[in-house]
Amino acid sequence: MEEKLILDGNVVAKAVKDELKERIVGLKENGITPCLATILVGDDPSSETYVRMKGNACAKLGIESRRIHLSKETTTEELLETISALNEDQEVHGILLQHPVPSHIDERKAFEAIAIDKDVDGVTSFGYGQTALGFGKYPSCTPAAILKIMEYYGIEASGKHAVVVGRSPILGKPVSALLLNKDATVTTCHSRTQNLADHVRQADLIIAAVGKPNFIQGDWVKPGAVILDAGYNKGNIGDVDYEACLEKASAITPVPGGVGPVTISMLLKHTVDSAEQLNK
């Protein structure tokens, strides 16, 4: 079997963080500590874990992590007030609302309340629109991670046929837009797509973003395709049947250790970018 390129996200994330260290030192010399505020509403264990991981990643780089933990009884209006206060706080450079929020809260309204200059997680419709038009500063972090992995390993999008499986507002849709802006021909598939396997078989680049374990099958992959698996399911399983797809692909991201670590590093990068922008 010919040698496969395993797209190691830990290596890419380290490269991103190494570049950030110098910039953070420069900011601190000017009296500025980059600060990411994370808002967690309720007691969802997975969300608590994600917030803790993000906080730990910040601490390792010298980024301040400000955690705001609100009770599950918090109303939409109370959450909006919290976001508004963070928008006004000049020491906060990035705001992340951990989702999902409790069902009685208007999540979209809360996302839209985040100031565009502090929307480092790319969740506002304004930020999405800027990303789609090619001048967004902070695209959603997982799509940004996918593009960063491709850049690091020299994987060209231009002229390639990319098939994105999934259309969520913070993954499938924005990564489709980013790839289109890189001159790929993009097909976005979803739960209503007919003959899904036939679409995937045409892909030079496969972006798996559907949230179903082992969903993409080996016989859906044309020889030499590049696979970027953005799925993360229970048991550390991606959206791609890894062993079966590895036989066909020329390059593939593992799960874990692929897109995930780079996603967190892009969140840190966007926070440092914002600290520099807001203090120009």
Q: Residue 105: count other Cβ atoms within 10 Å of its Cβ.
A: 23
Return d(Cα 154, Cα 243) in angstroms, integer.
23
Count CA atoms closer than 13 A to 106's CA, side-chain side.
Answer: 8
d(C-alpha 242, C-alpha 252), whole Å? 8
Give the integer Cα–Cα distance in Å for 37 and 65.
Answer: 6
DSSP letter at 210? S
Given the residues 8, 98, 248, 273, select the one marked as catalytic: 98
Of 17, 54, 148, 248, the catalytic one is 54
For residue 135, give every residue at least 6 positions away whose Cβ sits within 8 Å of its Cβ, in sequence order, or none: none
What is the dihedral angle through the alpha carbons of 74, 75, 81, 86, rounded to the nearest 10 degrees? 50
Name the strand (E) or helix (H) holding 252: strand 251-252
Contact (CB, 8 A) for 99 and 275:
no
Please tell me which residue in 8, 121, 204, 241 is annotated as part of the active site: 121
CA 272, 278, 279, 280 dihedral sign is: positive
Of 113, 75, 117, residue with least CA distance to 92: 117
Q: Write out the E strands in 35-143.
A: 35-41, 64-70, 94-97
| Residue 26, φ and ψ in degrees, nearest 5 | -60, -40
194 annotated active-site = no
Catalytic residue positions, numbered? 54, 98, 121
